Chain A
């Protein structure tokens, strides 16, 4: 008799704990991927506020608009997971965009694109090599290259916007699957590819290990310096890709293109939940951050809010995201 009661109690307790643990795991998912919850709320609010927001066309727009920051954010995520930062991505984008258009007439479209991409990778490599060799924090190095590369852009363009003379050039990225543009597809392709790199390859595992604890990574035999150079190079290359695609979309390359985009990029990545201190984050989070940022901007524009609102919202959201992250991690550690 007492035995069966005991067993009932036991199984009841088991059910309780399983409920508890499953609700805990939902909480944990929300805690770790809170950006998607945020995106969902954004979508609902804007869909209610504007009938144009939740249409196929507009969603396609959001994705395309977000892609340019997206490329930068994917590269920035790699660098940030290492515990570093790259402030020069905006300038690198402007340079590759200028090269892609400016060199077309002399060397042809495809070679120009190639040079543009290589220039991105090259300056990424320079950043990485300087960081790895000098031991100066990447914040200072890339703060310098932000100015330096922008200077090169101005020298190359002679302070004027360059225009393509070949109109077919602007039609290359005009390929759509449903509402999704080629640019957006390439962005998702890269995000997927680098998520795969992060979770499946040696380089990806190294990224986390280095970002978490550089010293023990080195002791475990990881070549930390070479590793960082690779990630900076990839970050530069991705900025190059963004530059080329932007030049195709606009048909022009302005010397001031992508000014302060490095800030938007950092906002997108941090909003996604990747930490500045390194070792924590993923491409999924960054994709979430990028789409949320794009949806926010798009939604606010659809509502015809004046442009200052988006700046204010962005600043506020960023601080809130930081506070949220802080509270969640401290409650986790206690």
Chain B
């Protein structure tokens, strides 16, 4: 057994309203890849941010090479040799690759003049070692996402990291780029670097990890050796419950075709997407982040314009130039990012709820406050939204209640089709199951529902039919017994089974 490099001991981290990490203990050995798995909101990212000094824990300790350390800032973490490769890249596009590698820690002389020759030489060595075909002086702005990621990884070589944390590194990479990344990860492991690898993708984890730790609701479920475990076991641990028992698939009568999409294309995002949805039906759209799922939804809803292809909605050929038109025809979209797209957090519940269909609640352009309050109270009871009142600022509500409000906002106008993009992201378990149940109710009332999600159990649990999407194309369609995790994984990672 190799030496233990980093230990997290009973870490507790609270945020307003939630306990993100509840006594998490965790260790990493030199020369191993330790995978950290868990559903969205399980606490993986929070744990990584604690280890790399972005968050400070409320309780608990971190030991580095046996010594207790307090990591207050990312800079201090870096000085210890702990580096994080961000999920969302944090590079400065107008600086060169080398300047980004050394971001904030440029080699300078007494007068603050950066020693570019030294910096570029060291950066070049690192980039070469990673097999990069670009020089240290190229501007990051001109690099692809995969290459930008290599720049971040080069940072770990330059600073001689002994712990490297990868946070969902393959989210936006193609298969070849992923293989290159894995080469790099393996060579780091060979050098004795301790690697933490966070990912959703079961196949990747089993390909690269030595040990796996599963987090759920801010607590460690288990730590196992990869070779002694199976995908099924890990999945169970992650979800922690029997699927059928917790998900509510709508027992609805499937009606007429409501939406049909034919060869929809936006260059650079998705190509030749064709499918149809019937009323009363819940269709799951599964794919990884960056597969083009949200873009398809936004195109249906009129946020984006397609380059080619047609949309037939309710027996009419439509081409919406703004969401307003889509809403008027009876479409609703619960967008992916609640905070930036779904709600106006500085406003109260009443204002948010009626915003998409103000005209329904107003006379001659003046909203009828009584009607608004009525509908607010209705949905507050119906969805059990916990709020002190219709004017309470939404920024004060928990994620789950915020998400319920987004749902309410779209439902109060009785749409014919509702598209839910990641409806339970960042939502606590209780609200999650309430939302799932509500999705079923909607379908039973005859709505057509499209659920976009990257959580497999969720898609499988709520859908009548699942479409899979990868790299901008629809790659499979599954119904009934074919809706299994194996099939979905195979479909989106390019393996052929269907």
Which residues from chain A sit less than 8 Å from chain B, CB to CB? 200-203, 205-206, 208-209, 212-213, 216-217, 219-222, 279-280, 334
Interchain CB contact under 8 A, A212 and B75: no
| Complex interface: chain A residues within 8 A of B99 (CB) | 205
Cβ contact of B92, chosen from A200, A221, A279, cutoff 8 A: A279
CA distance A96 to B268 in the complex (A): 54
Task: Using known A-B contacts A200-B113, A205-B106, A220-B105, determine if residue A212 contacts B93 with beta carbons closer than 8 Å.
Answer: yes
Cβ contact of B108, chosen from A201, A213, A220, cutoff 8 A: A201
Give 1 or 0 for each of B482-496: 1 = CB within 8 Å of chain A CB. 000000000000000
Query: By CB atoms of chain A within 10 A, which of B54, B103, B105, B111 has the most?
Result: B103
Query: By CB atoms of chain A within 10 A, which of B74, B92, B99 has the most?
Result: B92
Task: Using known A-B contacts A220-B74, A221-B73, A221-B75, determine if residue A208 contacts B114 with beta carbons closer than 8 Å.
Answer: no
| Complex interface: chain B residues within 8 A of A213 (CB) | 90, 92
Interchain CB contact under 8 A, A209 and B104: yes
Cβ contact of B74, chosen from A202, A219, A279, cutoff 8 A: A219
Closest to A209 in B: B92
Closest to B79 in A: A221
Query: By CB atoms of chain B within 10 A, which of A203, A213, A220 has the most?
Result: A220
CA distance A216 to B62 in the complex (A): 23
A interface, by DSSP: helix, strand, loop or mixed?
helix
Q: How far is the CB of B395 from chain A (nearest CB, A)?
A: 18
Whether B112 is near chain A, meaning CB under 8 Å from some CB there, is: yes
Interchain CB contact under 8 A, A201 and B112: yes
Whether B95 is near chain A, meaning CB under 8 Å from some CB there, is: yes
B interface, by DSSP: helix, strand, loop or mixed?
loop
Interchain CB contact under 8 A, B116 and A216: no
Q: How far is the CB of A4 from chain B (nearest CB, A)?
A: 29
Closest to B115 in A: A200
Q: How far is the CB of B152 from chain A (nearest CB, A)?
A: 11
Which residues from chain B sit less than 8 Å from chain A, CB to CB? 54, 73-75, 78, 90, 92-95, 99, 103-106, 108, 111-114, 116, 268
CA distance A121 to B238 in the complex (A): 59
Interchain CB contact under 8 A, B95 and A208: yes
Interchain CB contact under 8 A, B108 and A202: yes
Interchain CB contact under 8 A, B114 and A205: yes
CA distance A243 to B114 in the complex (A): 32
CA distance A201 to B106 in the complex (A): 9
CA distance A279 to B93 in the complex (A): 8
Interchain CB contact under 8 A, B114 and A200: yes
Interchain CB contact under 8 A, B94 and A208: yes
Closest to B267 in A: A334
12 contacts between A and B (CB under 8 A): A200-B116, A201-B113, A205-B114, A206-B104, A213-B92, A216-B90, A217-B103, A219-B73, A219-B75, A221-B73, A221-B78, A279-B94
| Complex interface: chain B residues within 8 A of A209 (CB) | 92, 95, 103-104
Interchain CB contact under 8 A, A202 and B94: no
| Complex interface: chain A residues within 8 A of B111 (CB) | 201
Q: How far is the CB of A321 from chain B (nearest CB, A)?
A: 19
| Complex interface: chain B residues within 8 A of A222 (CB) | 104
Interchain CB contact under 8 A, A220 and B94: no
Closest to B53 in A: A219
Closest to A220 in B: B104
**5 extra A-B contacts, CB within 8 A, seeds A202-B108, A212-B93:** A203-B112, A208-B95, A212-B92, A217-B104, A220-B104
CA distance A212 to B94 in the complex (A): 8
Q: How far is the CB of A273 from chain B (nearest CB, A)?
A: 12
CA distance A49 to B224 in the complex (A): 81
Interchain CB contact under 8 A, B75 and A220: yes
Interchain CB contact under 8 A, A221 and B90: no
Interchain CB contact under 8 A, B92 and A208: yes
CA distance A200 to B112 in the complex (A): 9
| Complex interface: chain A residues within 8 A of B104 (CB) | 206, 209, 217, 220-222
CA distance A209 to B268 in the complex (A): 29
Task: Using known A-B contacts A205-B95, A205-B106, A209-B103, determine if residue A219 contacts B90 with beta carbons closer than 8 Å.
Answer: yes
CA distance A334 to B269 in the complex (A): 10
Interchain CB contact under 8 A, B114 and A221: no
Q: How far is the CB of A277 from chain B (nearest CB, A)?
A: 12
Q: How far is the CB of A285 from chain B (nearest CB, A)?
A: 12
Query: By CB atoms of chain B within 10 A, which of A200, A209, A280 has the most?
Result: A209
| Complex interface: chain A residues within 8 A of B90 (CB) | 213, 216, 219
CA distance A331 to B271 in the complex (A): 20
Cβ contact of B112, chosen from A202, A217, A219, A279, cutoff 8 A: A202
CA distance A279 to B91 in the complex (A): 12
| Complex interface: chain B residues within 8 A of A205 (CB) | 95, 99, 106, 114
CA distance A220 to B111 in the complex (A): 21
CA distance A203 to B104 in the complex (A): 10
| Complex interface: chain A residues within 8 A of B92 (CB) | 208-209, 212-213, 216-217, 279
CA distance A217 to B111 in the complex (A): 21
Q: How far is the CB of B161 from chain A (nearest CB, A)?
A: 15
Of all A-B residue pairs in the complex, the 3 with the closest CB atoms, nearest first, are A220-B104, A221-B75, A216-B90
Interchain CB contact under 8 A, A219 and B114: no
Interchain CB contact under 8 A, A280 and B73: no
Closest to B111 in A: A201
